[in-house]
Chain A
Amino acid sequence: MVLAVKSSKLYIGYELDEGIAWVVEDLNMSIESNITYCLIGESGCGKSTIGNAIAGLLPPYAYTHGKLIVMDKNVIDEGVRRFNGIRGKIVVKIPQDPASALNPYMTIGDQLDIAVKNYFRNLSDREVKAKTLELLSEVMLDREVYDMYPHQLSGGMKQRAAIALALAPEPKIIVADEPTSSLDAYLKHAIASLLKKLQREWELTMIFITHEIPIAQYVCNRVAVIYAGRIVEEGSASDVLQNPRHPYVELLLKAYPKRLARERLTDIPGMPPPPGRYPQGCKFVPRCPYVFNRCRIEEPPLIALGNRLIRCWRYYE
């Protein structure tokens, strides 16, 4: 089994006045190639930071520590970041907001042409255009879109155009940062199934960041639930989302409305801890219903339980 992304003891932080706030801490993650790997979690828990780190789009003021290996290349090695040759060629990112990814003063065709030309420099103009039209049909857009401006497209079409733009360099890994968050319920499903189809046909490794459980269930093979910058539960999608073990995941699934469900929705009391002010011991202590003494003192390691990984003292033998 080939690993597309592997991280060991990865720390990512941003500079504050008081020092460095570590947003992602002690991340040990290994993603096999040709699967869809899902990162689920609340807002502000570090999902997007992990996605940006893999896509090589960390801002220059970010601090890193540990190791991240993408496609056998050591991109983050302690403080050094070497993304040349990886970023934009092997790993691309599908942006959260398609409106900000497209230049309002250029046609979709022009923008795609430039992206294609940037990666395949020895193509003639005619070949570039053919390739662009192929990309457009790949994301199920009409040929007319080639001559349209972003403001003439609907939200779903814009997102499709943004996906086409990301696929232009023929990448191996795509990081989809909440690609469905700005769409309505029908389009959410349409875009998700498009991404699923592309993942299968292009043999991509997709890292899918979302906070919507039904979409994750539909698209993903493996799921990692992130809380306070660390993985709390990881396993195959059907396993984790049907039969959660970690108390946070249990509560998270109860907080999401299910079709035809009779049980009441509950919320998780409290707030996720802000980066830089994580509590001592297990990070879920202030909100956990099953808390006991050991949780407050020591942080649990990520332990294997059957075919999943879990970070909780309750399952520690």
Chain B
Amino acid sequence: MIRSIYVVVHDILSILSRTWRKRYSFRIASVAMTFVFLLAILGPHIAPYPRQGLGLDVDRSRALLPPSPEHLLGTDSFGRDLLSRILFALSRALYPSIVVAFVSLLLGIAIGSTATLLPKPIEISLSYLIELLLALPSVLLAALLAILMGGTLTSIVVALIVTWFPWYARIAYIQARNLKELDFVKLPLYYGLSKGYVIIKHIAPNILAPMLIEALSDMGSVVLEISTITFLFGIGITSIEEPDLGMMIAYSLRDLARAPWTFLAPSIVLATIAIVFTVFGEAIYEEHHPVLKKRWWLWF
């Protein structure tokens, strides 16, 4: 078991190192991504005004100050240091997205690879169910769950998992269908080994590596989606004191004309995260599928 994990990790590392050697965009993106993760981990410790960053200190007299040596990115309408707010918000944006990406990855692999070995009618109805779930809009589901579960970050995470895992389930299902015809999957079933065993030992390890990369490249979209939901509803955060990128952008819109920095700083951070993750994933994806290398030519 440990050895098979090692092989999967080795596979992923070899893909990463090959992409690193060949692509400049990937080098820039991975350096930037490391930086973002470092900031997210260290942010709460290096923030200049931690109490303001958490939203505990409110000083109306210092509201909407422009960027200065004292406040590098200025202050918002409650007089809180924007840099500290963003540093606190980073980890709150990244951790849920990691949870969403990997829980839905595991769910997707489990459902997709099990579906291939089930009896035909169940397999077909399961794949239709997955396609039905694909049609579900995540934002509306998050709103519904917020009403049912009482507006916590958990409700957003659950809503996103429910809307994200069908994508992975479908990819896993298609890949497992390809494997099903190969002898090392077919013969053990004919010779009487159990289906669960074949799934765990033969199917899942073979589809894990490409799907992990898929999940990595999707994390940027998950960050964006979480911020979209908090921007629209502000749910998941019980009060406006909590630092969150989506909500910071939403509240800065009122002061857009007077203090554009309150809007620009969080939006640029959010856009950077999304672009960095997408470029990172795209580079690996195109390197992993040689056919897609020149895909941009198709646009012209």
Contacts and interface: CB of A to CB of B under 8 A. Distances in A.
Contacts of B4: 105-106
B182 A100 contact: yes
A153 to B, nearest CB: 14
B206 A118 contact: no
A100 B190 CA distance: 15
Contacts of A71: none
Interface string A189-200: 000000000000
B45 interface: no
Contact of A100 (B3, B183, B205): B183
B51 interface: no
Contacts of B193: 114, 118
B184 interface: yes
B54 to A, nearest CB: 46
B191 interface: yes
B288 interface: no
A56 B189 CA distance: 12
Given A100-B182, A103-B206, A56 B190 contact: yes
A57 interface: yes
A97 interface: yes
B148 to A, nearest CB: 41
Contacts of B201: 103, 106, 114
B237 interface: no
B183 to A, nearest CB: 4
Most buried by A among B8, B191, B205: B191
A95 B183 contact: yes
Nearest to B1: A110
B202 interface: yes
B183 A104 contact: no
A101 interface: yes
> Is chain B's interface secondary structure helix, strand, loop, or mixed overall?
helix
A107 B4 CA distance: 9
A87 B3 CA distance: 31
Looking at chain A, what size class is its interface with the partner chain?
20 to 34
A274 B116 CA distance: 31
B242 to A, nearest CB: 44
B140 interface: no
Interface residues of B, number: 17
Contacts of A100: 182-184
A102 interface: yes
B183 A88 contact: no
B149 interface: no
B183 A105 contact: no
Interface string B104-127: 000000000000000000000000
Given A106-B4, A106-B201, A101 B191 contact: no
Interface in B140-169: none
A105 B192 contact: no
Contacts of B3: 107, 110
A118 B183 contact: no
Contacts, number: 48
B206 A101 contact: no
B253 interface: no
B21 to A, nearest CB: 21
Contacts of A110: 3
A118 B205 contact: no
Contact of A105 (B190, B191, B206): B206
B187 interface: yes
B293 to A, nearest CB: 23
A101 B7 CA distance: 19
Contact of B7 (A87, A95, A149): A149
A87 B184 contact: no
A28 B4 CA distance: 48
B192 A118 contact: yes
Interface string B175-218: 00000001110110011110000000110011000000000000
Given A88-B192, A118-B192, A105 B187 contact: no
Given A57-B190, A88-B191, A105 B182 contact: no
Interface string B61-95: 00000000000000000000000000000000000
Most buried by B among A105, A114, A118, A169: A105
A87 B192 CA distance: 9
Nearest to A84: B192
Contacts of A111: 184
A33 B8 CA distance: 45
A169 B7 CA distance: 28
A103 B205 CA distance: 9
Contacts of B7: 105, 149
Contact of A104 (B190, B191, B206): B206
Interface of B: 3-4, 7-8, 182-184, 186-187, 190-193, 201-202, 205-206
Q: Which 3 A-B pairs have the closest CB atoms?
A: A88-B191, A105-B205, A101-B183
29 contacts: A87-B190, A87-B191, A88-B187, A88-B190, A88-B191, A88-B192, A97-B183, A100-B182, A100-B184, A101-B183, A101-B184, A101-B187, A102-B184, A103-B202, A103-B205, A104-B206, A105-B8, A105-B206, A106-B4, A106-B201, A106-B202, A106-B205, A107-B3, A110-B3, A111-B184, A118-B191, A118-B193, A149-B7, A169-B191
